[in-house]
Amino acid sequence: MSDSEMISEAMALAADRAGDITEAVFTRYFARCSGSRALMDHTDEYMRGRMMAQVLLLLMEPGEAELASYLEFETDAHKAYGVEQYMYENLLAAVHEEVAEILNGSLTPAMDSAFRSRIAYLLSQIEAAAS
């Protein structure tokens, strides 16, 4: 099973147990990354939902062909809001941590490794796109 398939399976299990995890992820994200709260004061539930959907696609979809141009566009757009590299890392980590907590022991080592690997890969791609 590929990393994206394992992440998708973990996300499906988390959704079955907790439903929509968007608000919980953002609560965790703001706790990890206090500077991001002020940047996101202007966002509403709809905007955060759209952001979460994009983050989940990045984690679950292997679509590497368009990834570089998509991340270049997104990092450039987010610079205007004052988003910094560490904020992406904290958001992705918040998703991973929330899923792990929801699954409470059901997150297999392979799923955990898939999350860590995909997050590391995405962060390297975000760093390349931002430079």
Specify whether the CB–CB gap between 117 and 32 falls below 8 A.
Answer: no
Length reported for the chain: 131
Q: What is the DSSP string of 44-79?
A: -HHHHHHHHHHHHHHHH----TTHHHHHHHHHHHHH
Q: Among 5-9, 62-66, 81-85, 127-131, whose mean pLDDT is lowest?
A: 62-66
pLDDT at site 15: 95
Mean pLDDT on 16-40: 90
Which CATH number do you get for residue 115?
A: 1.10.490.10
Q: Is the pLDDT of residue 39 over 80?
A: no
User: What is the pTM assigned to this prediction?
Assistant: 0.90
* Number of domains into which the chain is organized: 1
Question: Other C-beta atoms within 10 Å of 98: how many?
Answer: 20
Q: Is the pLDDT of residue 2 over 90?
A: no
Specify whether the CB–CB gap between 99 and 21 falls below 8 A.
Answer: yes
Q: Is the pLDDT of residue 12 over 90?
A: yes
**Structural domain boundaries enclosing 60:** 3-130
pLDDT at site 63: 67
Q: 87-125 pLDDT, tens per residue? A: 999 999 999 999 999 999 889 999 999 999 999 999 998
